[in-house]
Amino acid sequence: MNKVIAVGLALIFSLAGGVNVMADSNGPEIEKATFAGGCFWCMEPPFDQLKGVISTTSGYAGGDEVSPTYKEVAGGRTGHTEVIQIEYDPAKIDYQKLLDVFWRNIDPTAVDRQFVDVGKQYRSEIFYHNDIQRALALASRDALAESGVFDKPIVTEVTALKDFYKAEEYHQDFYQKNPVRYKFYRYNSGRDAYLKKKWGSR
């Protein structure tokens, strides 16, 4: 990230007194982040392995339908996209790190699709929970566009989160519950081949 942007964001954060969090007197402060990166099965694993991430939940966001089902979302009739919502401890991991992991697990140049999955319901999108997340997301998107990693425009939108609807239970932690099916799907989706080609050992 550009040093001027980074310093500016740090100042914004300090003046704002941090981000709104959920406080639990018996546990750590918790913040939330919500990302759309295509199939939510594939977006849970890279975040679950991060120290400071408490949980990841697959769900739907970005549309107008109330309490949509997977069948409705997959059919492209709701305006929603598949997302994951992350709960994390900001004392152990910050939002910027989550953004870095997000960008390295998607194709941000793809319009209304991610790899083998096609349709607006698989678009990439960052749903911010507050103004600081919005500023960090926009800055990180600008930095990525200027990095030269991609030779096409970055089309990932940055949008305020209105509602999040948890997906059906069988979608939660799918990669752990159904490892063989998950690995077969992921390999054939082309996601890993693309990410390796684009990022390599960077």
Catalytic residues: 39
Which amino acid, 11?
A: L
- Residues 106-109: contacts with CB under 8 Å, at least 24 apart: 106/37, 106/38, 106/156, 107/194, 107/198, 108/141, 108/144, 108/150, 108/154, 108/155, 108/156, 109/150, 109/152, 109/153, 109/154, 109/155
- Residue 124: in which H helix or E strand, if any? strand 124-128
Q: Both ends of the chain: CA-CA distance in Å?
A: 15
Q: Specify the DSSP element, H or E, that contains 72.
A: helix 70-74
Q: Which residues pair with 88 in a beta bridge?
A: 31, 53
Q: Count the neighbouring beta carbons within 10 Å of the beta carbon of residue 8.
A: 13
Bridge partners, residue 57, by sequence? 85
Q: Under a CB-based contact definition with an 8 Å cutoff, are residues 156 and 105 in contact?
A: no
